[in-house]
Amino acid sequence: MANPKRKLSRASKGHRRAHLALERTQLVRCTHCGAMIKPHTICKACGHYRGRQILVAENG
């Protein structure tokens, strides 16, 4: 079986994992109501997506 010849040092492991940190989720403004929403999602505040009403308000 193929095996690594040497143990990987903590430093090497750290160097490889230097780029693995999670990034903060980007938020964009809803074009209709201006609320901060995740990109490519329906706005929960007004129910709009790409300028169209998708969700209808529950009470009203």
Supply the minimum distance, in Å, between the C-beta of residue 24 and Zn ion.
21
Determine contact, residues 45/56, Cβ cutoff 8 Å.
Answer: no
DSSP string, 23-38: PPPP-EE-TTT--EE-
Residue type, 29: R
* Contacts of Zn ion in 1-60 (CB under 5 A): 30, 32-33, 35, 43, 45-46
Supply the minimum distance, in Å, between the C-beta of residue 42 and Zn ion.
9
Supply the minimum distance, in Å, between the C-beta of residue 43 and Zn ion.
3
Determine contact, residues 8/15, Cβ cutoff 8 Å.
Answer: no
Sites of contact with Zn ion (CB under 5 A)? 30, 32-33, 35, 43, 45-46
